[in-house]
Structure 1
């Protein structure tokens, strides 16, 4: 079976912030793009990602061990730690990785993917994870309420 690489990741940065694109990859299991963002004297790495499967191998190697880092994206994982009443395999794997590396899951439990049919439920598969040494003073996580008509509302 042929696997296609998908596109469609983007990072929107306010025009008054300085940034430097540092890496981007598209593969059969993981797509991501990273930028270094400069805010005053502080700099941090911001990575947007889409993970199809196998979070332990790809997520750990690609992202969670980087210093002063925010990882955001569609990680296709479910867990009570970020809004689902039960965990799936990917959710348990990400829970363990974040605990082992002392990362912080910033999600509040609000859904990030809205049901499109009556036999579906709202889910939280889009995550925001900060590294254990993240030094920027405030991380404010919220789903924009006025965008709830969209299938996947933007996270701010």
Structure 2
């Protein structure tokens, strides 16, 4: 971790984040890519401290993204046509022509965000008390996004999940 490696408590992580946001936020003249990296590390640092595991960034990312729940959720919907599957922060978002496959998404544990017109999956540890009210584009901008499968691609090269 580049930004939060010296933080040992949640309060230190939050204080460091506020300081870095004032320095690097794009609305204040900073760089978007740098702020996305800070946001990503902030999420990992927070998760690491809250879990008390003392994991490295790579170990934390591996635990989050390859957990059984996330793997199963993606596997359950990877075959769906006409949808885009992406990871944004610690959430899986599904967009595109989702109406015909809504029952499959519900069964796989996804929830519909009507204001975003998208389906999402997250584990209980990343559940928030209420919606942030931000658009999906704003969330992507804050945390960055990794597309698992694009609705316009039948198969993403080199990716077993992109059926």
Is TM-score (shorter-chain normalized) higher than 0.5? Answer: no
Structure with the higher fraction of residues in strand conformation: 1
Structure with the bigger percentage of helix: 2
Q: Which protein shows a greater Rg?
A: 2
With the length of structure 1 as denominator, give the TM-score of the two structures.
0.33
Q: Which has the higher contact order (CA 8 A, sep 6+)?
A: 2
